Amino acid sequence: MKIKTSADYMSSLQAINPVIYYKGEKIEDVTVHPATAPHVRAAAMTYALASSDEYHDLATATSHLTGRKVSRFTHVHQNVGDLIKKVKLLRVLGQKTGTCFQRCVGLDGINAVYSVAYEVDRKCGTDYFERFKKWLTDIQDENLMVVGAMTDPKGDRSKSPVDQPDPDQFVRVVERRSDGFVIRGAKLHMTGAVNSHEILIMPTMAMDEKSKDYALVGAIPIDAPGITMVFGRQAGDDRRDKQETIDVGKPRFGAVGGEAMIVFDDVFIPNERIFLNGEAEFTGSIVYRFAAHHRANYGACKTGLMDVLTGAVTYLAQAQGSAKGSHVRDKVTEMIHLSETLYSSSIACSVEGVPTESGAYMVDTMLANVCKQNVTRFHFEVARLAVDLAGGFIATLPSEYDLRSDDVGHLVKKYFTGVADIPVEDRIKIGRLIEAMTGGTAMVESMHGAGSPQAQRIMIFREGDLAKKMSLAKALAGIPSRKKE
C-alpha cells in the first residue's frame, strides 16, 4: 500500500524486519526505540508536508514516468523549477525539524544513477536504464524511503580497492550468477539507513578496469538476508536514551540524521535490481553527479537549521534581558546574513541547472561545490555566534533531575531566572536547544557530510576554468595567446 501519511510511514517500518544493533543490543522497532525514534519522526515530516495543504506543491511532483503525483524525494528533476522547489522544501524541513530528515541522499542517488544509466546503455548496449525506471516506478508508487549508500570504509587510503589487504574495505561483487550477483563489504555513516525501506548501493569513487568488481550499482530491501546494521552514537545520546526531555534540547527530533554502518555479508541482488555491473569508466560520473546534487542541498537544509538557531538565541536574549544591546543585534544580523548568503548559493546552482542526455536536470557543479564549501564555514560561524550570545550557562546547566528535585529545584529556578515574565523553564529549554544544535554532531555533519571540505576545493579548482580566466586577463593586457599555453 502506498505510504501517504506519517502514520503510514511508521506502520511500514513496523512491517519489515531489518537487523539493527545499537550499543551491543538488537533494536526490534525503530519507531519506538529511544535511539532511533527521533530520527524516524524527522523523516516522517517529509510525508506530513506532502499531505498538507500548505506544502503539498513543494513536497510533491508529477512523475515523468507515470504522470502520477509522487513525493519530491523520489522524483527525477525535469527542469530548473524542480531544482528550485527542492531547495525551498529542504529549507522548510530544516525549519520544521531542526535536524536532518534523511531522504536527500536517496533522492540524489536516484538522480545520479538515472542519468548515468542512460549513458551506459547508449554506449554499452546494456538495459540498466529500463531496469532502473521500473524499480523507480515502484519506489514512487509506494512512496518508499531510499538510503543512498556510497561511502565505503576505504581501509588503507593509500591503496586502491584491489590492493587493499582486506578486499572487503570496498563493497564488491564476490560471485556473478546468471540471475544476479552476490556482494560483500560495508557502507559507513549511512544517514537514515535504519528507517529506510530500500538501499541504493553506489561506488564511493571513480574506479579503473582492474577494480571492475567494485564498479557496481544495485538496489535491495534493507531487511534482505545478509544485511546487518549498527547504529552510531551521537553527542548526548545518553540523555536521549533516558528520555530526559529538557536535557535533550530537541526531544522530538534527533541530533543529526541517525547514521549507521551497513554490512553486506554475501548479499544477493537479482538482475532486475542491478544498474551497473563492472562498467568502471562510469563510476566517476555517478560519484560526480551525486556529490554535486548533494552539496547543493546543504545550502537549503542547513539554512533551515540556522533559521532555528537564530530564532533560539533571539528568544534567549529576550529571556535574559539583553535583546536590545547593540552588540546582540549586530551578531543576530550577521547570523541572518550568513544564512541568506548560504541559501543564495543553493538557489544559484539550481537556477543554473542544465539537462543531461537523459533529460534529468543537473545543478551547476561549480556553484554546488561553492555552496557546500560555504556550509563548512558559515554554519560553524552561526553556531559560534549563537554560543557567544547564549553565554556559558548552556554548557553548565543543572539537569532536569535537579530542576524537578524537591531538595534543590527551588534553587535552580531561583538562580536561573531571567526576565520576570518569561518562565525559567522556558529559558532552560531554549538554552538546551542551543546546546543540542551547537554541541558537536551537527557541526561534524556540516563539515564532512557530502565529502570533506578538501573534496569541494578540489572540484572548485577543477571547474574554475583557469584557462579562460587567463585569456580574459591577457586580452585586457594586450598579451597574445600562444598555442603551447
The catalytically annotated residue of 36, 74, 100, 356 is 100
Say which of 22, 118, 214, 298 is annotated catalytic: 298
Annotated binding site for FAD: 191
Please state, in angstroms and rounded to a whole number, the distance separating the CA atoms of residues 252 and 255.
10
Among candidate residues 151, 294, 310, 315, the one labeled active-site is 294
Side chain identity, residue 343 = Y
Active site residue: 39, 47, 259, 365, which one?
A: 259
Query: Any catalytic annotation for residue 62?
Result: no
Known binding positions: 191
28 catalytic? Reply is no
- Identify the active-site residue in 104, 114, 303, 314: 104
How distant, in Å, are the alpha carbons of 242, 322, 393, 395, 434 from that of 388?
A: 29, 13, 11, 12, 11
Task: Give the 3-state secondary structure of 351-367.
Answer: HCCEECCCCCEECCHHH
Q: What are phi and psi for residue 406, nearest 5 degrees?
A: -70, -25
Q: Does the annotation count 124 as an active-site position?
A: no
* Phi then psi dihedrals of residue 386, to 5 deg: -65, -45
**Residue listed under C-alpha cell 582486506:** 166
Distance CA 419, CA 323 (A): 11
With a CB cutoff of 8 Å and minimum separation 6, the contacts of 195 are 13, 30, 31, 36, 39, 40, 43, 102, 145, 258
All residues at 6 or more sequence positions from 430 whose CB lies less than 8 Å from its CB, including other chains: 312, 315, 316, 319
The answer to whether 99 touches 257, Cβ cutoff 8 Å, is yes
Cell of 454: 578538501
Residue 197 catalytic?
no
Q: Say whether 130 is catalytic.
A: no
Cell of 167: 578486499
25 assigned to active site = no
349 is catalytic: no
170 within 8 A of 185, measured Cβ to Cβ: yes
C-alpha to C-alpha distance for 402 and 412, rounded to whole angstroms: 7
Q: How many helices (H) and strands (E) does the chain have?
A: 18, 14
Residues that are catalytic: 100, 104, 191, 259, 294, 298, 301, 445
